[in-house]
Structure 1
Amino acid sequence: MDLHQIVLFAAAVVGVSLIPGPSTLIAFAHGAGSGWLRSIWTALGNASASILQAIAASAGLGVVLAGSASLFLVVKYLGAAYLIWAGIQMWRSAARRVDMAEAKGPATMSSARLFLSGFTVAASNPKAIIFFTALFPQFLSPEGTGLGQLATMVTVVGLGSFGVAAFYCGLGAWVRELKLSRRAMSRLHKATGGVFVASGLSLVAAR
């Protein structure tokens, strides 16, 4: 891949990643609840899941998922169930988790939990593997080595996913610094939880 192709590929990955969804919303919520520095663990979890999905696509698992209806449904329903569960938990604990006056209290999550949440939410969508399977061939060049080009694209996916998630973490932390009222932040987290549930239900309904 030449520099021009890498830039185009990175633009495609970042452009898709910037679209609000469960991964960006969990990063935003963690930024608002735990601050930007700590929520970077969420971004790392998100990037780790994206890298594994990109590697799976490179290894041909995207073709397997696309060709095996039963396997795809299993992965899809497991991901949907987690999104719905996460949304319900976020809704139920909204008031407690977003109390800005008690930032050092229950709202502070451990680094491992932040990482795991970011990883699990990003990994819960099997369509990402199929997306990468469809995207990668568009940027493969016959002049270069396939393995080297795929390694470059996987690296770009990881960096792009991390950058976008870190951006949303920073956005959430910025909202945290605005010292919004407890009611406003509670509504914000409830809205985020509602989007998670809706995303899970839409994943179940998607054909």
Structure 2
Amino acid sequence: MSTELYLVYLATVVILLVAPGPMTLLTLSTSVRHGHKKALATVLGSNLAGLVLMLLSATGVGALITSSPALFELLQYGGAAYLLWLGISAWRSRPEENLESGFRYRDDATAFGLFRQTLMVGLANPKGLIFFAALFPQFLNPAKPMVPQLLVLCSTFTAVDFIVLNLVAFGGCQLANRLCSTTAQKRFNRLCGLTFIGLGGAMAIA
């Protein structure tokens, strides 16, 4: 891959990952509730989900899944239902009491639990398979070995995903300092809940 083509791919990935989506919202809400350290588990869950989808797409398994309407719809509706459940849970989440000394992070979730949650959200979206199957061929040279090229594409996507979501997590930690009242926390929880529900609904009917 030429330097010019790689820079085009890099710019494309940055634009795609900066756009808000389920992983961005999960990272933001996790960092607000649990701090950056636990939000890092969410970031890593997103990274692993992306790597798995890229691997499936590259090996042709993604094409097999997307060619089976029943299996594709099963995954699609399963992912939509999970996002709806996350939305309802966020809406019903109880805020902390008023905190005079500043916002206090919750300790009602483990890093592994948050990692698993994000991984499930990422893997439950079969459109990721279509996305990578459509994106990668635009930057591959069939006259050259595929494995080195795919390694560059996958590693670049994962690195950008890690950086962008970490920036979102840092932003969430700054936002947490402004959520020192039950009213502000309730509004944030409901905004996250509505967004998850909207994403789930969009996934179900798309």
TM-score, normalised relative to structure 1: 0.90
Q: Which residue is 2:150 aligned to?
A: 150
CA offset digits 1:96-133 (Å, max 9, x no partner): 59976442544xx2110121122122222110110000
- After TM superposition, the structure 1 stretch with the greater mean CA deviation from structure 2, 137-146 or 73-82, is 137-146
CA–CA distance in structure 2, aligned partners of residues 44 and 62 of structure 1? 22
Matches of residues 1-207 of structure 1 in structure 2 within 5 Å? 1-96=1-96, 101-106=103-108, 109-206=109-206
Q: How far 1:38 sits from its partner (Å)? A: 2.4
Q: Contact 2:98 / 2:182 at 8 angstroms: preserved in 1?
A: yes
Q: Counterpart amino acid of 1:15?
A: I
Q: How far 1:188 sits from its partner (Å)? A: 1.3
Q: How far 1:7 sits from its partner (Å)? A: 2.5
The change in CA–CA distance for 1:37 and 1:98 in structure 2 (over 3 A counts) is farther
Q: Counterpart amino acid of 1:103?
A: Y
Unaligned ranges ≥5, structure 2: none
Q: Contact 1:98 / 1:186 at 8 angstroms: preserved in 2?
A: no
Unaligned ranges ≥5, structure 1: none
Q: Contact 1:43 / 1:162 at 8 angstroms: preserved in 2?
A: yes
CA–CA distance in structure 1, aligned partners of residues 167 and 96 of structure 2? 24
The change in CA–CA distance for 1:82 and 1:39 in structure 2 (over 3 A counts) is same
The change in CA–CA distance for 1:143 and 1:80 in structure 2 (over 3 A counts) is same
CA offset digits 1:110-168 (Å, max 9, x no partner): 11012112212222211011000000000002453111101211111211222222121
Q: Give SS of 2:125's match.
A: coil
Q: Counterpart amino acid of 2:111?
A: S
Q: Counterpart amino acid of 2:191?
A: A
TM-score, normalised relative to structure 2: 0.90
Residue-pair matches, total? 204
What's the C-alpha RMSD, in Å, of the aligned pairs? 2.1
Q: Give SS of 2:82's match.
A: helix
Q: Counterpart amino acid of 2:121?
A: V
The change in CA–CA distance for 1:103 and 1:150 in structure 2 (over 3 A counts) is same
